[in-house]
């Protein structure tokens, strides 16, 4: 089975997502952690798009990458910066 373009894209997106998710755990700065979490959601959305699940991709992009990230940012503002 030769690797297709879709397969290569899926594998690279998945490995980027995985490594970002691991990096979040070890980042000291709260702001960077929040932005990287948003990046994980964005790559998940791109993966859903590769699997032809357009509606799920849009939901993930708007909820996971935009709204959740913003709410984390506001929460960070409320507790005053953090680590």
Partner 1 sequence: MIRTVSVLAILLVLGALAAAVVPHLGMPRELAGVGREYARDGMEVTGSANLVTAVIVAYRGLDTLGEVVVLFCASTSVVLILTLFPLGVRPSPPSRIVEHTARVLPAPILLFAFYFIAHSHLSPGGGFPGGTVMASAFLLVMLGSTSVPGRSGSLPAIEALAGISFGLLGFWGVLTAGQFLNNRVLGTGTPGQLVSAGLIPLISIAIGAKVASEFSGVFAAFRKTGGME
> Counting contacts by CB under 8 A, is residue 51 touching partner 1?
no
In the shown chain, the binding pattern of residues 11 to 40 toward partner 1, with x for contact by CB under 8 A and - for none, equals -----------x--xx--------------
Angstrom distance (rounded) from CA 72 to CA 68 = 6
Closest C-alpha among 78, 34, 42 to residue 60 = 42
Candidates 12, 19, 32, 54; binder of partner 1 (CB under 8 A) is: 54
The alpha helices in the chain, defined as continuous H runs, are 5-26, 30-50, 54-59, 68-79
Q: Which residues bind partner 1 (CB under 8 A)?
A: 22, 25-26, 53-55, 58-59, 62-63, 66-67, 70-71, 73-74, 77-78
């Amino acid at each position: 089975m030769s690797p297709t373009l879709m397969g290569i894209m899926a594998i690279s997106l998945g490995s980027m997502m995985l490594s970002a998710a691991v990096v979040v755990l070890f980042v000291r700065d709260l702001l960077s952690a929040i932005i990287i979490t948003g990046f994980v959601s964005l790559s998940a959305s791109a993966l859903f798009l590769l699997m032809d699940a357009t509606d799920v991709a849009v939901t993930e992009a708007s909820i996971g990458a935009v709204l959740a990230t913003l709410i984390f940012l506001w929460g960070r503002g409320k507790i005053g910066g953090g680590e």
